[in-house]
A and B are shown apart, each in its own frame.
Chain A
Amino acid sequence: AQSVTQLDSQVPVFEEAPVELRCNYSSSVSVYLFWYVQYPNQGLQLLLKYLSGSTLVKGINGFEAEFNKSQTSFHLRKPSVHISDTAEYFCAVILGNYGQNFVFGPGTRLSVLP
């Protein structure tokens, strides 16, 4: 079985400050990892994904994430946040072979304060 943990349910941060949203997963097989963002009353939008290759992945809106296999982590970072980044962020994992569905973490609510 696999699960996704997002330790921080809420992260308040001031505008233009850096932010890190943490994600850890548990899986005994190789995984594909994703970060999605959800704005209020909307569906989920892909920020970035890790399939293989370079462990540092760059996504949209200035976000990046680093895959760390030894720590089973895939933390999301942004060096300088904007008010418009206020949203819910979900980490997700899918099995590496023939996996058919994503397992989502519980989400982290990022609130960017002026």
Chain B
Amino acid sequence: DTGVSQNPRHKITKRGQNVTFRCDPISEHNRLYWYRQTLGQGPEFLTYFQNEAQLEKSRLLSDRFSAERPKGSFSTLEIQRTEQGDSAMYLCASSLDGSGNTIYFGEGSWLTVV
């Protein structure tokens, strides 16, 4: 399967701990996106990479959040000092360059902060 891959799929952590999620995009896709989705809501944009460059960040991405894509392939999203409000599904997506191209989503990583 060559779709977008995310891991771990589920993570339960204690408040104050750090967590890291990994995303492997579709291999030829140079754009990579991170979204957050809470129950009953649509996905909310967090950040976007064009190759290894992080070109856009939402104001939702507080200073406790950091995303990287060091070699323009896989990406990591780290949340430091987690809070209960961080509990959500974190979705990764990728697409080819150019406007209007479909973005393809991974299965998501569920985070529960207790």
Please tell me if the beta carbons of B107 and A43 are within 8 angstroms of each other in the complex. yes
Is the C-beta of A44 less than 8 angstroms from some C-beta in chain B?
Answer: yes
Please tell me if the beta carbons of B100 and A43 are within 8 angstroms of each other in the complex. no
How many residues of chain B are within 8 Å of chain A by beta carbon? 23
Is the C-beta of B74 less than 8 angstroms from some C-beta in chain A?
Answer: no
**Hey, which chain B residues are within 8 Å of A104, CB to CB?**
42-44
Please tell me if the beta carbons of A34 and B102 are within 8 angstroms of each other in the complex. yes
Please tell me if the beta carbons of B100 and A32 are within 8 angstroms of each other in the complex. yes
Q: Please, what's the 1-or-0 string for B89-108, where 1 marks a CB less than 8 Å from any CB in chain A?
A: 00101000001101111111
Q: Taking A42-B107, A43-B108, A100-B56 as contacts, is the C-beta distance between A107 and B45 under 8 angstroms?
A: no
**Hey, which chain A residues are within 8 Å of B85, CB to CB?**
none
Q: Taking A90-B43, A94-B99, A103-B45 as contacts, is the C-beta distance between A43 and B56 under 8 angstroms?
A: no
Please tell me if the beta carbons of B99 and A32 are within 8 angstroms of each other in the complex. yes
Please tell me if the beta carbons of A44 and B43 are within 8 angstroms of each other in the complex. yes
Most B CB within 10 A of own CB, among A32, A92, A95, A104: A104
A-B contact pairs, 9 of them (CB 8 A): A43-B106, A43-B107, A44-B43, A44-B91, A44-B93, A90-B43, A94-B100, A97-B99, A99-B99
